[in-house]
Amino acid sequence: MKKIQLTILYFCFCGIFNAQVKSDKNFNTCDFKPLVNQNLNFSKSSFDTIAYNTFNNVADWTISAANLQGQWEVVTTTPADVVTYMGTMASTSVSDGFAVFNGIQYLLTGSVDFQDAAIELNDTLDLSNYPSVTLEFEQMYKAFNYDKTFVELSTDYGTTWTAIELNDQVTTNDPAIQELVGINISSYVGGQQGVKIRFRWTSDSDDDSFGSGYGWLIDDLKITVPPENDIQNISSWIFGENSGGAEYGRTPISQVEQNYYIGSSVYNYGSMDQLNVVSNGDFNGPTTISSSASSTIIESDSTKSIESLNPVSLSVGNYTGSVTVTSMGDTLGSGNFDDNTFLRNFEITNDIYSLDGLGNHPAGYEAIGSLGSNSWSDASDGLVCGTYYPIKQEEILNSVRAYITSSTMAQSEVILYILDSLSFTSGLFSNSIFTSELYTVTAQDVNNGYIEIPVANNIGWDPINNISTWENVTLGIGSYYAAIELYSGGNTYDIRILDDNTVGQPAWSSAIWYPGDQAYSNGNAFAIRMNLGSNVNLMENTINKLEVFPNPSNDFVNIKLENNLQSELTLMDVSGKVVLEKTFTNTSNIILSSLKCGIYMLSVKNNSQIITKRVNVVK
């Protein structure tokens, strides 16, 4: 059974929000002619192939001007560097030729000019007898940071073009995807003569910024008549009535809602309008959930959201679900039913609250990205990644766990903020209800794959037992961000936070604060999780407590670490430049008058520990 992947019609349900994603800041008229090529043949019967080209003859194609950096090639063997980083092209007729844009040869050099390269089919198509048409081709592709891929269509013999962007995947280290792509292009060229087709690769990176991309390989171009009946479940969801469309991968039982929306984004790929389209959801776990929603009609080559609001009863445990769409023409047992079901999992927990669902997604669905100190060259220090959490019932927050990539380096540093949503988007981190001390990432943290920071305030000390006692932070009903500020010492010790790209989330469900700029929505789910519930045993021995006061200061700060050990003190600016070094025992001070305003990192090291704190110099 043929499977068609609709890469340009991926649906991301965004609730009431509009996404705003931060971009990388350091990033001829053709005459009509009849079809005479033997590899491009008209089909005269309905629901069949209209035109076909296997790339077995380079003369069938025009490649864009030679002065561009990076060109398409028509080859019979996958280039060696593409094999290394992507794998070998495995299309149906790979042996007689295919097209490839090899971006890896430029990616490896790290010196890339702006790229814009096209490969155009020379023949012109007359589709005046075909109001419904689809474009199919086989491809191998792997996303990078800057590349974009398009199929472009013309109905005036190549005078003007309409671009359709393809391959909107996230950057990944996973293997390249080998797939059959199908696009219903009826609304663009159906019933038209003078139709031209071309493929375009662009890369909008700056010089020396490791731009370009891995590559794009194309084979076996077909123009076909689509099936009459073929609806496709592009995406499905389950989320709380008051969540703004956010799907939380793990929800504490104290924060669940009474009613949940369950539904699907349904695309009609077929040539016929589809009647009585139904979306049925079934979830199994500690309890069972069923839903049904319907639409009277979905027109050909159009997409519609179908959902219902359902009262649910949830208990602690894992839920696995499926949402299946049907119509009068596309039902179980029909020839196009292999793309009608979408899987979705979630978990109800005792105390873990996570927007991300990493580790719980259905097999084959999980897509993982990351953002961090080396995502943008001018935001290596001070970038803040935050995840949004609505609190519906008052709760105690005892810690925050942030999952990090294996490429994160020990000695990178972070600060945790817990703050209301308006303060985050406004950059008012001084309004935080909790701010942690500067935390230094250890090699064990990198090995674990996460950092965990306690959320508690000192409420006093016992001089007899020489201990400080602590109290966890209480979150009242409201909306909060758990936000991690990243410091790498000017890319010396980079750190990256995992980003769950599996489920498209409403715009501000996770977001970044770009230093010196503004907040930008992320559109995915940073793996920054809240751990709820009290932890009353949290305490600290004051003998090993580093005190820095007054802070902020414009004159001097006092340093106090009463452990009777000789300690080494280092003060660095945010770029990692050392501005002061000295040794002391128990107490010392630092004169600040010669320093510029800003944030400095104070590190104190001795035989028993390393402690880092932030010093704020003001004037």
Q: How many CB atoms lie within 10 A of CB 394?
A: 11
Distance CA 598, CA 574 (A): 9
Distance CA 226, CA 130 (A): 10
Lowest mean pLDDT among 238-252, 280-294, 334-348: 334-348
| pTM confidence score | 0.72
Share of the chain above pLDDT 70, in %: 84
HSE (side-chain half, CA atoms, 13 Å) at 202:
11
Tens-digit pLDDT profile for residues 39-54: 333 332 335 889 999 9
13 against 549, higher pLDDT: 549
Chain mean pLDDT for the chain: 84
42 against 291, higher pLDDT: 291
pLDDT above 60 (res 20): no
pLDDT above 60 (res 29): no
Q: Which fold has domain 546-617?
A: Immunoglobulin-like (2.60.40)
pLDDT confidence of residue 172 = 61
The predicted model gives 204-217 an average pLDDT of 66
Q: CB of 358 within 8 A of CB of 253? A: no
pLDDT above 70 (res 98): yes
Nearest partner of 498 among 409, 369, 357, judged by Cα: 369
pLDDT band for position 208 (cuts 50, 70, 90): very low
Q: How many CB atoms lie within 10 A of CB 105?
A: 14
Hey, do 368-539 and 546-617 end up sharing a CATH topology, with the first three levels equal? no
Tens-digit pLDDT profile for residues 561-612: 877 788 899 998 877 788 999 999 989 999 998 898 888 888 888 776 677 7
| Secondary structure class of 443 (helix, strand, coil) | helix
Q: CB of 544 within 8 A of CB of 609? A: yes
Type of residue numbered 546 = L
pLDDT above 70 (res 187): yes
pLDDT above 80 (res 221): yes
The predicted model gives 109-124 an average pLDDT of 83
Lowest mean pLDDT among 85-99, 454-468, 543-557, 603-617: 454-468
CATH level 2 (architecture), domain 368-539: Sandwich (2.60)
Distance CA 326, CA 337 (A): 8
Q: How many CB atoms lie within 10 A of CB 309?
A: 13
pLDDT confidence of residue 15 = 32
Share of the chain above pLDDT 90, in %: 59
Q: 517 is written with which tokens?
A: 């700029």
Distance CA 221, CA 230 (A): 21
The predicted model gives 24-31 an average pLDDT of 26
pLDDT confidence of residue 463 = 64
CATH number of 238-350: 2.60.40.10
Burial 502-537 (b: 16+ CB within 10 A, else e): bbbbbbbbbbbbbbeeebbbbbbbbbbbbbbeebee
pLDDT above 90 (res 416): yes
pLDDT confidence of residue 142 = 86
| Rounded-to-10 torsion of CA 84, 116, 141, 507 | 120
Name the one residue in this structure whose structure tokens are 């090995």. Answer: 447
Distance CA 455, CA 530 (A): 10
pLDDT band for position 378 (cuts 50, 70, 90): confident
| Secondary structure class of 431 (helix, strand, coil) | helix
Whole-Å CA distances, 372 to 22, 25, 428, 513, 526:
13, 14, 21, 12, 11
The predicted model gives 402-430 an average pLDDT of 95
pLDDT confidence of residue 112 = 64
CA 506, 512, 518 angle in degrees (round to 5)?
110
The predicted model gives 68-86 an average pLDDT of 89
Q: CB of 521 within 8 A of CB of 513? A: no
Q: CB of 269 within 8 A of CB of 304? A: no
pLDDT band for position 170 (cuts 50, 70, 90): low
Q: How many CB atoms lie within 10 A of CB 580?
A: 15
CATH level 2 (architecture), domain 7-224: Sandwich (2.60)
The predicted model gives 415-419 an average pLDDT of 96
CA 193, 195, 197 angle in degrees (round to 5)?
170
Q: How far apart are the first and last CA of the chain?
A: 71
Type of residue numbered 168 = D
Whole-Å CA distances, 145 to 213, 373, 474:
7, 15, 40
Residue 492, Cα to own-chain centre: how many angstroms? 25
pLDDT above 50 (res 23): no
Tens-digit pLDDT profile for residues 525-558: 999 999 999 775 544 444 457 888 888 888 899 9
515 cis-preceded (ω within 30 degrees of 0): no
CA 135, 211, 573 angle in degrees (round to 5)?
140
pLDDT above 60 (res 11): no
Lowest mean pLDDT among 24-28, 71-75, 483-487: 24-28
Tens-digit pLDDT profile for residues 468-491: 567 889 999 999 999 999 999 999
pLDDT confidence of residue 21 = 34
Q: Which residues, other chains included, contact 200 with Cβ-Cβ below 8 Å and sequence gap of 6+? A: 116, 117, 118, 149, 150, 151, 152, 163
Q: CB of 67 within 8 A of CB of 117? A: no
79 cis-preceded (ω within 30 degrees of 0): no
Domain boundaries of the chain, sorted by first residue: 7-224, 238-350, 368-539, 546-617
